Amino acid sequence: MIKSVIFSPDGKTVASASNDGTVILWNAITFRVIKTLTGHTDSVTSVIFSPDGKTIASASDDGTVILWDAATFREIKTLTGHIYPVESVTFSPNSKIVASASWDKTVKLWDANTSREIYTLKGHIDSVTSVNFSPDGKTLASASFDKTVKLWDATTFREINTLIGHTSIIESVVFSPDGKTLASGSFDKKVKLWNPITFREINTLTGHTDSVTSVMFSPDGKTLASGSFDKTVKLWNATTLREINTLTGHTDSVTSVIFSPDGKTLASASDDKTVILWNLDLDKQGKRILNYQEF
């Protein structure tokens, strides 16, 4: 089962995180395996490249985050401090801070250079599933089993506001590239769009027939992708909020969706042990490029 997929900033590499405890790096052009990163002792739940492309961070059910050198593939440091599985990891836009979200109900902030813990954000009353920085790095959003999204000041570490509206577990949260919209995906089968300034709900996208596990904006902010337990990926027009297309091909739950840096390709990961790459050129929208098989 593959839990997370991400493109490198230059779009040349795809990383996938799996229940087998590994992270596999793939050449996005030749589709060959570049390297398998081993070090975790349990399922790897989340993987991310730093914006500067120098570091890879992976989170695991073993309660740790491992930082890897993206050039040598060597382990830099293991971040320990969470007392339960870590479900999500991300970098700040300047690559200086790592944020990790855990079942221990907290979000921890780490110095990416020294690997030291900076602060622990406490406020959620249940497991934290997803964490994401705003494009300007000033705000951090966290989603939780407690059905809320919390916004935090990334400088003072104070809670700014709590967004309430979902009726079940929120599995994914992400800012739009311009920082003016926040999207959240939930087990209530819905995607909600929020204004992170006024804290008001903008709209609710309905169409999935099962839990929404992952949401992601395209680099130009015009398209929103959502992955679901219903085995599909839906593409939405982020302006009109209408559904553009439904991508079918996975045979089990879709766990993660991500756009390539140029926005022309979408990668989706699934519990069916595959990563599918989709061609998003307007005249070929939804055409599958390749199916990565991972065991």
Secondary structure string (H, E, C) spanning the chain: CEEEEEECCCCCEEEEEECCCEEEEEECCCCCEEEEEECCCCCEEEEEECCCCCEEEEEECCCEEEEEECCCCCEEEEEECCCCCEEEEEECCCCCEEEEEECCCEEEEEECCCCCEEEEEECCCCCEEEEEECCCCCEEEEEECCCEEEEEECCCCCEEEEEECCCCCEEEEEECCCCCCEEEEECCCEEEEECCCCCCEEEEEECCCCCEEEEEECCCCCEEEEEECCCEEEEEECCCCCEEEEEECCCCCEEEEEECCCCCEEEEEECCCEEEEEECCHHHCCEEEEEEECC
Residue of 95, 147, 153, 156 whose CA lies nearest to 126: 147
What pLDDT is recorded for position 286?
73
Name the phi and psi angles at 287, rounded to 5.
-75, 130
State how far the Cα of 99 lies from the Cα of 88, in Å rounded to an integer. Answer: 8
What pLDDT is recorded for position 282?
59
What pLDDT is recorded for position 192?
98
What pLDDT is recorded for position 263?
95
State how far the Cα of 28 lies from the Cα of 278, in Å rounded to an integer. Answer: 12
* Beta carbons of 236 and 218 less than 8 angstroms apart: no
Burial 256-285 (b: 16+ CB within 10 A, else e): bbbbbeebbbbbbbbbbbbbbbbebeeeee
User: Could you count the other beta carbons within 10 Å of the beta carbon of residue 30?
Assistant: 9
Mean pLDDT per 10-residue section of the chain, whose length is 295 residues: 96 96 95 96 98 98 98 97 97 98 98 97 98 98 98 97 98 98 98 97 98 98 98 97 95 97 96 94 70 59
User: Could you count the other beta carbons within 10 Å of the beta carbon of residue 80?
Assistant: 12
User: Could you count the other beta carbons within 10 Å of the beta carbon of residue 6?
Assistant: 21
What pLDDT is recorded for position 32?
94
For 261, the token pair is 């840096």
**Angle made by CA atoms 50, 190, 11, in degrees to the nearest 5:** 25
For 71, the token pair is 């050039």
Topology adopted by domain 2-293: Methylamine Dehydrogenase; Chain H (2.130.10)
Residue of 152, 242, 176, 151 whose CA lies nearest to 203: 242
**In what order do the strands lie in the sheet containing 22-27?**
2-7, 13-18, 22-27, 33-38
Residue 276's DSSP bridge partners are 268, 291
